[in-house]
Amino acid sequence: MHPAIQGLLTIAFGVGGCVGYFYFSNLVLDRVIFPARGAHIARNIRRANMIRPWLFLLPALLALGLYLAYPVVETLRLSVSERLPGGGSEFVGLANYQQMLAEAKFWEALKNNFLWLLVVPAASTAFGLLAAQLTDRLAWGNIAKSLIFMPMAISFVGAAVIWKLVYDARPEGTEQIGVLNALYIYFGGDGPMQWLTIPFWNNFFLMMVLIWIQTGFAMVILSAALRGIPEETVEAAIVDGAGPFQIFFKIKVPQIMDTIVVVWTTITIVVLKVFDIVFAMTNGQWETQVLANYMYDKLFRANDWGVGSASAMVIMLLVLPILVWNVYNARREMR
């Protein structure tokens, strides 16, 4: 069978099943269980309306519970147990965590992750703010914004290929086809550099890819925030004789501080989960390991579910403050 036809069939099956559930479950509720006719019409309608919200929510609750809530508990359980040969598992307490903490690769991943957490959100937000402010009053600002925003649509893997070409190195003496080496040699560098294999600094070359992707996101949101600043405050500052830099740093930035924090946290979450870039570009070699890739290594290469789950819990631990803060904000808003 042609893959296109096979694809279409599977699509029809999947989507059809979903539409069918909502249509028929409501039909059954209204016609069969509590029909809106006969002697008990009022009572039936009331009862149907009590059940219907749960009918609407059921697939979502099932999916959320199964795919997000249950794994948190289950991963926690796996992180304190060991798989036994022949199936089953036994409780081993914190042994997996101890084993993980004894591994140099874990500390390397943790250190690199902190480096990513320091650099990427800061750089993306800063570039985004710069781009938002610069394009704000330009006639062709929207086109410029679209182009800076564009990498958001590119996959991490696609971006990895794009940047691999930038960092490419050819043997000495031949012409360099990677822009970075071409520039490096043009400005008097001696010999091409294998950028991705230089310990410590290669982390920054990987981070550059994520910064390149996330800047557009920060720019879009910060640009909306900048537009929301009341004109009067800026005008008052101008009347008082403030220069453009003073206006920007002392009037505008403080007013959009809340938005900057939101952008910062959102990018922080992305950074914690970042996996594809490291996986595709260096696969954690040359001291570029990060937690997410370390975990994948443990789970699917070393087949060590215990330590893998323990490292997943470390990632969970790192997002926990953001989770609490989000819920706190949401509850405050509901009131």
Partner 1 sequence: MTMIAGQKPALTWALRLSVVLLVGLWLFPTLGLLVSSFRTADQIATSGWWRAMFPSEQNLTLRIDPPSEQLRQGDLFVIEGRLFAEDTSSEISAWGTSAREPAAYQPGETAELRRGGTLSVAADGAYRFESTEEISGKRGPRVFVTATVPPEFTLENYETVLISGNSTDNMAKAFFNTLTVTIPATIIPILVAAFAAYALAWMEFPGRALLVAAIVGLLVVPLQLALIPLLKFHNEIGIGKGYIGVWMAHTGFGLPLAIYLLRNYMVGIPRDIIENARVDGATDFMIFTRIILPLSFPALASFAIFQFLWTWNDLLVAMVFLIDATGETTVMTKQIVELLGTRGGNWEILATSAFVSIAVPLGVFFAMQKYLVRGLLAGSVK
Tell me which residues in 278-307 interact with partner 1 (CB under 8 A). 279-281, 292, 295-296, 299-300, 305
| Cα distance between residue 268 and residue 234, in whole Å | 31
| Cα distance between residue 128 and residue 71, in whole Å | 35
Tokens representing 303? 């087949």
Of the ranges 100-108, 114-122, 160-168, 197-205, which one interacts with partner 1 (CB under 8 A)? 160-168
| Cα distance between residue 293 and residue 301, in whole Å | 11
3-state secondary structure (DSSP) of residue 85: coil
Of 317, 320, 316, 311, the C-alpha closest to 96 is 311
Contact (CB, 8 A) for 290 and 109? yes
Examine residue 33 and tell whether it contacts partner 1 (CB under 8 A): no
Tell me how far, at minimum, the Cβ of 240 lies from partner 1, in Å: 11
Given the complex with partner 1, which of 10 and 98 has the nearer CB atom?
10
Contact (CB, 8 A) for 250 and 229? no
Contact (CB, 8 A) for 255 and 222? no
Residues linked to residue 91 through DSSP beta bridges, in sequence order:
81
State the binding string over 235-274 for partner 1 (x if CB under 8 A, else -): x--x----xx--------------x--xx--x--x--xx-
Examine residue 156 and tell whether it contacts partner 1 (CB under 8 A): yes
Residue 45's contacts (CB-CB under 8 Å, 6 or more residues apart) are 34, 36
Interactions with partner 1, residue window 124-153 (CB under 8 A): 127, 130-131, 134-135, 137-138, 141, 144, 146-153
Interactions with partner 1, residue window 79-118 (CB under 8 A): none
Tell me how far, at minimum, the Cβ of 201 lies from partner 1, in Å: 19
3-state secondary structure (DSSP) of residue 276: helix
Given the complex with partner 1, which of 123 and 315 has the nearer CB atom?
315
The amino acid at 161: V
Tell me how far, at minimum, the Cβ of 166 lies from partner 1, in Å: 5
Interactions with partner 1, residue window 171-190 (CB under 8 A): 175-179, 182
**Which one among 157, 236, 257, 302 touches partner 1, defined by CB under 8 A?**
157
CA dihedral 156, 161, 164, 168 (to 10 degrees): 180
State the binding string over 36-75 for partner 1 (x if CB under 8 A, else -): -------------xx-xxx-xx-xxx-xx-xxxxxxx-xx
Residues linked to residue 81 through DSSP beta bridges, in sequence order:
91
Examine residue 326 and tell whether it contacts partner 1 (CB under 8 A): yes
Of the ranges 107-115, 117-125, 194-202, 227-235, which one interacts with partner 1 (CB under 8 A)? 227-235
Of the ranges 6-14, 99-107, 118-126, 198-206, which one interacts with partner 1 (CB under 8 A)? 6-14
